[in-house]
Amino acid sequence: MKAVQLVATRIAYSESAFAELVLWRLPKPARGSSHGFKYRLVYVVRGECVLRYDNEAGKGDHRHVGGTESTYAFTTPERLIADFQRDIERWNDENRDA
């Protein structure tokens, strides 16, 4: 089985904010991950990446919020996208006056 791209989309939230979601099903887990998916979900505001979920080879599943990186417990692609959307809402709420 070859890698299959499941999602590749860009979502505009405003004139200055967008999200990009890229998700692949892999024939075997990426180095550092225990599941068969490769992903990169980013939220960019005014040209700055303020939120990112990814599983870079060797680093495993993690997320970046601002300058802070933390482990992410991947379960399913659906949960991944829901968690990412929840974090976008939280970021927007916490930074609405900025």
By the 8 A CB rule, do 42 and 20 touch?
A: yes
What are the helix and strand counts (H, E) for the chain? 1, 6
Average pLDDT, the chain: 94
Q: Which are the contacts of 76, defined by CB distance < 8 A and separation ≥ 6? A: none
Rg (the chain; Cα; Å)? 14
Instruction: Indicate the length of the chain as a whole number.
Output: 98
By the 8 A CB rule, do 62 and 55 touch?
A: yes
Inform me whether the pLDDT recorded for 1 exceeds 80.
Answer: no
What percentage of the chain reaches a pLDDT higher than 70?
98
